[in-house]
DNA sequence: TTGTAAGCGTTATCAT
DNA sequence: ATGATAACGCTTACAA
């Protein structure tokens, strides 16, 4: 910057003014400075700028699992929305581990992100408290924590799930296996509760960890126990369940019905196509980013509750109904 | 930091020494400083530290498309490797757009990442030159550019592709449709070349853009032109091709054979399972991160060339061979 | 309109 | 072993 200033025959203050679009500099000096910048290939140091202004124009996003297409879509939407407001997004991948999540949150805070988007790995409000204590704007995404005091953006699947439950019962299923998420996550509990509340003793619940392997194992147990329908509460566990069904040579929906929470681009391509509860991922991501930006700008955004939709495709024997 | 210093009755210099694990401070003072840090909940400002040390302990990763599971896996591997060396990764999503890619690269450079991992959107060496001119360590991943002067990490699929081509010809296919990537990307050209070189006039090539929609369109054209086998040169275009095949009610492999470059967890679950050329994504990501770290440490890592493997599963009529 | 200079939170040099 | 102090590259009163 000093070089640029010298080159243009001005002070660094003037260079800074030109850089920041201040009204002050004359068109002439602006011209000269711009020329010098061009010639020297000067690029401002964002670190120094941030140190001075205490604003990084950066949002932190800590997600549970980058390999989960659900979160990948969300990350993409967050990024799009943030970019359109001149913000950058730094993504942290927690891998469904509470420790790694905490590590990432702290790293991002240390780097002074202007705000944080968090998909909490567990219910524990401790980490959220820590962030809030630091005074950093925070929005929870997809999942919430006990007694959350910050805005939350999520999708409500209860209606779709009860509709699905009724449908399965109507189709004659009396032993329905639920592959649920961890009981210490809000989505893990809520989805399972919404679904089973209609079912009573017809439902049998096995908890997984939102990953493929746990889906296979849960499916195996439930099938062994005589389930005639399986509902996986997240797409990765759904993938695992599907694998187990195939491995056993069972036919969908004749031998066993299957439905999955979260849609995937390839679900319609299976035979039969998979019935799902689809979350509005893009809208969730965008809404979360908007809420966070509002918070950063001193507003108090409300919680956002979008609704997930049941998409019937045939894997629950819809054709026969 | 000043507060911590006061609290502990020392200077900020000593606090810094404790923080950075210098040998100097006595166990006693160290103790006092640590206590003060704890009590005040002090966290060092990474921006200030970086400004001073000119090291951010951060790697930049600019990938073509976060929604592409291939890149998501790579990102994950890069992050794992980087973390194990105490580095953070900032991911930029270029969306297969050269402009957005350039924007991200510049943003990351402005934030003074210690090194950059780039999956170039096109062949154009301009951006690479820009980075190199800035003296920032750079490693190319998956794709290369014309006359690249920096280390490149990629997978070689030519052997697998020629084996696949021979197999298809042996199975009697004389009209083989190739859904290739953009001709201005190294992977787009190389894969298509490797595959068609064995085929001669039996191959018909249509270029897509590495995304699902272009895969459907290319498949439609090729099928209309009488192709009896389709090979998609990336998993997203493969997904599109599969959709088109299903939409037309064609049966794999009887009506048409299909193979895809890049494996996916759900490919084995289709009926028949999809034959693929599988890239070692995790190793690619890790190798790239390692090369970059080596570069940062002043070494001169060699190019890394891993090999992709042909996985026969049935979608090319292997059972009948 | 422009320049001078202080300060953002660190680290590192040089004394002590 | 510890403490002043300058410096990192920038922004922003305040003065001119």
Token pair in block for residue A115:
């705000």
Task: Name the closest nucleotide to A24, judged by C1' and CA.
Answer: C1
What residue is closest to C5 (Cα–C1')?
A: A13
3-state DSSP assignment of residue A97: coil
Buried b / exposed e over A155-185, threshold 16 CB at 10 Å, is bebbebbbebbebbbebebeebbbbbbbeeb
Q: What is the pLDDT of residue B318?
A: 85
Where residue A95 falls among pLDDT bands split at 50, 70, 90?
A: confident
Tell me the three state secondary structure of residue A198.
coil
> In the predicted model, is pLDDT for residue B321 greater than 50?
no
pLDDT of residue B162: 97
What is the torsional sign of CA A11, A17, A20, A25? negative
Instruction: Give residue-wise pLDDT tens across range A202-239.
Output: 999 999 999 999 999 999 999 999 999 999 999 999 99
B183-201 b/e with 16+ CB inside 10 Å = b? eebbbbbbbbebbbebbee
pLDDT of residue A148: 94
**DSSP character at residue A202:** G
The helix (H) or strand (E) run that includes residue B115 is: strand B115-118
User: How far apart are alpha carbons A46 and A58 in whole angstroms?
Assistant: 11
Q: Tell me what pLDDT residue B24 has.
A: 87
Res B238: pLDDT: 98
Provide, as residue numbers in chain B, all residues whose Cβ is less than 8 Å from the Cβ of A73.
67
Helix ranges restricted to H, chain B: 2-8, 12-19, 27-40, 46-53, 69-84, 98-110, 126-133, 158-170, 186-196, 212-224, 235-247, 281-296
pLDDT for position B90? 93
- In this prediction, residues B234-253 reach a mean pLDDT of 97
Averaged pLDDT for residues A187-208: 96
Select the residue of B46, B91, B243 nearest A110 (Cβ to Cβ): B46
Q: How far is B90 from chain A (nearest CA, A)?
A: 5
Average pLDDT (B198-217) is: 96
Of chain B, the percentage scoring pLDDT greater than 70 comes to 99
Q: Which residues of B touch A243 (CB under 8 A)?
A: 268-269
Of B56, B72, B133, the CB nearest to A67: B72
Q: Is the pLDDT score of A321 beyond 80?
A: no
Angle at B266 between CA B261 and CA B267, to 5 degrees: 40
Cα–Cα dist B82/B114, whole Å:
12
- Coil, strand or helix: which one is B139? strand
Other C-beta atoms within 10 Å of B225: how many?
A: 11
**Which residues make Cβ contacts (< 8 Å) with residue A59, sequence separation at least 6?**
A78, A82, A87, A88, A89, A90, A113, A114, A115, A116, A117, A289, A292, A293
- Are the C-beta atoms of residues B277 and B155 closer than 8 Å to each other? no
Predicted confidence band of residue B95 (pLDDT cuts 50, 70, 90): confident
Give residue B8's pLDDT.
96
Task: Answer yes or no: do A45 and B88 touch at CB < 8 A.
Answer: no
Interface touch A41/B112, C-beta < 8 Å: no
pLDDT at B62: 97
pLDDT digits (tens, 9 = 90+) for B134-146: 999 999 999 999 9
Average pLDDT rounded to a whole number, residues A34-56: 97
pLDDT digits (tens, 9 = 90+) for A176-186: 999 999 999 99
For residues B39-61, average pLDDT: 97
Distance B202 CA to C16 C1' (A): 84
Q: What mean pLDDT is predicted for residues B34-51?
A: 97
**Average pLDDT, integer, range B179-198:** 96
- Is A110 near chain B, with CB under 8 Å? yes
**Across chain A, what does the average pLDDT equal?**
96
Contact (CB<8Å) B271/A271: yes
| pLDDT tens, position by position, B1-29 | 999 999 999 999 999 999 999 998 999 99
For A44, which residue in chain B has the nearest alpha carbon? B110
Judging contacts by C-beta atoms under 8 Å, the chain A residues touching residue B87 are none
Cα B279 from Cα B77, distance rounded (Å): 13
pLDDT digits (tens, 9 = 90+) for A3-30: 999 999 999 999 999 999 999 899 999 9
Residue B188: pLDDT over 80: yes
- B239 CA: distance to closest CA in chain A (Å): 7
Q: What is the pLDDT of residues A239-296, one digit of tens each?
A: 999 999 999 999 999 999 999 999 999 999 998 999 999 999 999 999 999 999 999 9
The burial class, CB within 10 Å (0-12 / 13-18 / 19+), for B249 is exposed
For residues A25 and A16, the answer to whether their CB atoms sit within 8 Å is no
* Residue B82 near residue B289 (C-beta atoms within 8 A): yes
Contact B222, B179 (CB under 8 A): yes
Q: How far apart are CA B208 and CA A17, in angstroms?
A: 46
CB count within 10 Å of CB B172 equals 11
- Residue–nucleotide distance: A221 CA to D11 C1' (Å): 63
User: Tell me: the pLDDT tens digits for A100-123?
Assistant: 999 999 999 999 999 999 999 999
Of B192, B206, B201, B197, which Cα lies nearest the Cα of B174?
B201
Residue A40 forms contact with B (CB below 8 Å): no
* Spatial contact of A281 and A73, defined as CB atoms under 8 Å apart: yes
Residue A78, helix vs strand vs coil: helix
The pTM is what? Answer: 0.95
Strand D interface, protein residues by Cβ within 7 Å? A 1-2, 12-13, 16-17, 19-20, 44-45, 48-49, 51-53; B 9-14, 17, 23-26, 28-29, 48, 51-52, 54
């Amino acid at each position: 910057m000093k070089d640029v200033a010298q080159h243009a025959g001005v002070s660094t203050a003037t260079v800074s003014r030109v850089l920041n679009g201040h009204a002050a500099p004359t068109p002439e000096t602006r011209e000269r400075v711009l020329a010098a910048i061009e010639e020297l290939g000067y690029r401002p140091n964002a670190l120094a700028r941030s140190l001075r202004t205490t604003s990084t124009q950066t949002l932190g996003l800590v997600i549970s699992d980058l390999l989960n297409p659900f979160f990948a879509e969300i990350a993409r939407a967050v990024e799009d929305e943030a970019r359109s407001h001149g913000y950058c997004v730094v993504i942290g991948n927690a891998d469904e581990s509470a420790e790694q999540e905490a590590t990432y949150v702290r790293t991002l805070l240390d780097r002074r992100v202007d705000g944080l988007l968090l998909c909490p790995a567990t219910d524990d409000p401790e980490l959220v408290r820590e962030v809030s204590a630091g005074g950093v704007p925070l929005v929870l995404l997809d999942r919430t924590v006990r007694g959350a005091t910050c805005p939350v953006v999520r999708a409500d699947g209860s209606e779709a799930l009860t509709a699905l439950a009724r449908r399965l019962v109507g189709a004659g299923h009396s032993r329905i296996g639920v592959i649920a998420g961890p009981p210490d996550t809000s989505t893990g509990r809520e989805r399972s509760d919404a679904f089973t509340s209609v079912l009573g003793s017809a439902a049998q619940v096995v908890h997984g960890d939102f990953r493929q392997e746990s889906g296979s194992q849960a499916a195996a147990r439930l099938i062994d126990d005589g389930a005639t329908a399986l509902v996986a509460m997240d797409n990765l566990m759904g993938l695992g369940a599907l694998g187990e069904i195939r491995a056993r040579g069972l036919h969908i929906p004749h031998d066993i019905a299957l439905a999955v929470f979260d849609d995937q681009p390839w679900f319609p391509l299976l035979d039969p196509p998979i019935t799902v509860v689809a979350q509005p991922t893009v809208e969730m991501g965008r809404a979360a980013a908007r809420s966070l930006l509002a918070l950063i700008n001193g507003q108090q955004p409300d919680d956002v509750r979008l609704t997930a939709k049941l998409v019937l495709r045939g894997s629950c024997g819809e054709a026969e109904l």
